[in-house]
């Protein structure tokens, strides 16, 4: 089931939807690439898709952005801000996954600027909890606090992520409290962050959008239009 309550299509039906419903025109490259990718986003039923080609992505990886929510009606055309506002109010969000994902861990450390975090705006960790707040649920997903390296998270990916947190969030000693592997490429990460240390919430969320977060596994299964048994690397937060 997807968040709209409708039954998930079969893998073949979903692939056909993804291949035929959306017409993609590469955006003009500019500093606001996250926003231009989502201009004229086409929504069809509970799914909205934009293919980001390798040449238009910031790091050369092609990927799709999929909004899993029944936003307005079929055939609507929305701006990214419309999608963001309505996805949040509907308790859904953006999930990003690699179309031609590399099986190598380097992919985790170099995947692009996951705009999905903006739609999953409540993916905020504080020092008082080890859980992820999901807009669609009042019950946080609990994580066992464990050393990411002990869970198999690559050391160089950990160094890259922590360095990114220091540079982007200006945290002197960032910490990843836990890492949980999910599927082929997916990881659920829990960080030790204190939003009160930032000047305002908007800055905090904007900074979070550049960290390599991943959607919680429970949410990914619920929102997977290909069915819960299909392994897909869902990214967001990520």
* Domains of the chain by residue range: 11-223
pLDDT at 98: 29
pTM score > 0.85 for this model?
Answer: no
Mean pLDDT for the chain overall: 41
How far apart CA 182 and CA 230 sit, in angstroms, is 12
Please, is 130 exposed, middle or buried when counting C-beta atoms within 10 Å of its C-beta (0-12, 13-18, 19+)?
Answer: middle
> Regarding predicted confidence, which is higher, 132 or 170?
170
Q: In angstroms, what is the C-alpha Rg of the chain?
A: 17
> Regarding predicted confidence, which is higher, 218 or 149?
149
Q: For the residues 181-195, what does the mean pLDDT come to?
A: 52
> Regarding predicted confidence, which is higher, 51 or 215?
51
Q: What's the CA dihedral at 180, 183, 186, 190 to 10 degrees?
A: -20
Task: Name beta bridge partners: 187.
Answer: 181
Q: For the residues 217-233, what does the mean pLDDT come to?
A: 30
The string of pLDDT tens digits covering residues 34-78 is 333 333 333 333 333 444 344 444 444 443 344 333 344 444 444
pLDDT at 20: 38
Q: Determine the length of the chain.
A: 238
pLDDT at 146: 53
Mapped onto helix, strand or coil, the DSSP state of residue 94 is strand
Distance of CA 4 to the CA centre of its chain: 19
How far apart CA 220 and CA 237 sit, in angstroms, is 12
Query: H/E/C letters for each residue in 60-71?
Result: CCCEEEEEECCC
């Amino acid at each position: 089931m997807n968040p709209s309550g409708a039954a998930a299509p079969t893998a073949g039906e979903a692939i056909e939807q993804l291949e035929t419903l959306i017409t993609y025109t590469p955006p003009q490259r500019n500093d606001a690439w996250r926003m231009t990718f989502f201009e004229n986003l086409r929504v069809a039923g509970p799914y909205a898709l934009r293919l980001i080609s390798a040449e238009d992505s910031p790091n050369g990886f092609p990927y799709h952005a999929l909004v899993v929510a029944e936003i307005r009606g079929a055939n609507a055309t929305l701006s990214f801000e419309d999608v963001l506002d309505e996805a949040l109010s509907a308790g859904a969000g953006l999930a990003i996954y690699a179309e031609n994902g590399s099986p190598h861990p380097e992919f985790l450390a170099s995947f692009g600027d996951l705009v999905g975090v903006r739609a999953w705006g409540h993916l905020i960790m504080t020092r008082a909890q080890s859980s992820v707040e999901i807009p669609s649920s009042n019950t946080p997903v609990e994580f066992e606090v464990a050393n990411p390296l002990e869970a198999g998270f690559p050391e160089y990916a950990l160094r890259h992520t922590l360095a990114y947190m220091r540079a982007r969030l200006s945290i002197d000693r960032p910490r990843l409290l836990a890492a949980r592997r999910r599927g082929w490429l997916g990881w659920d990460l829990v960080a030790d962050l204190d939003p009160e240390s930032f000047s305002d919430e908007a800055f905090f969320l904007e900074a979070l959008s550049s960290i390599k977060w991943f959607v919680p596994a429970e949410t990914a299964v619920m929102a997977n239009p290909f069915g819960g048994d299909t392994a897909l690397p869902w990214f967001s937060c990520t």
